[in-house]
Amino acid sequence: MNAVDAYEARLSLTALPTFGTAWLTPRLGRFRKAHKDIAIALDLSEAAQEIGAGRYDAAIRNGGGRWTGLRSSEAVSSVFMPLCSPGVEERGEADWRSATGGGCAAAGAAGLVGGLV
């Protein structure tokens, strides 16, 4: 009997490396404590994996959640905002505020253009 055989069930997941390392992996210990009978196989890959073929039980990916033949639910909401290097404004490069509909201030991050707060 090997280590995987000792578990009653196995959950096979695939996720993007950034999400897997920053969000998912730190929470796996808590999951393992609560579900000691479930072995977890985790694939961290940029490649879109085929979960309908049976290799993976679930995938965690970014997107609108409309994938044919699959059921999805939002795990976390995504927030993206422009952050600029401290020297961008001084170099006289293109004004990001006009290109992004208000720039950092409109995204709720006033003070980030031209330097970090």
- What is the count of structural domains for the chain? 2
Single pTM value for the model:
0.58
**Which domain does 10 fall in, by range?**
4-60
| pLDDT above 50: residue 113 | no
Q: Are residues 23 and 54 in the same domain?
A: yes
Q: Are residues 13 and 54 in the same domain?
A: yes
85 lies in some domain = yes
93 lies in some domain = yes
30 lies in some domain = yes
**How is residue 15 annotated by DSSP?**
E
Q: Are residues 85 and 51 in the same domain?
A: no
Q: Which residues pair with 10 in a beta bridge?
A: 39
Q: Which of 23-27, 69-73, 83-87, 90-94 has the lowest mean pLDDT?
A: 90-94
User: Per residue in 26-85, pLDDT tens?
Assistant: 999 999 999 999 999 999 988 877 776 778 888 888 887 787 878 888 888 877 666 767
90 lies in some domain = yes
72 lies in some domain = no
Whether the CA torsion 10, 53, 23, 75 is positive or negative: it is negative
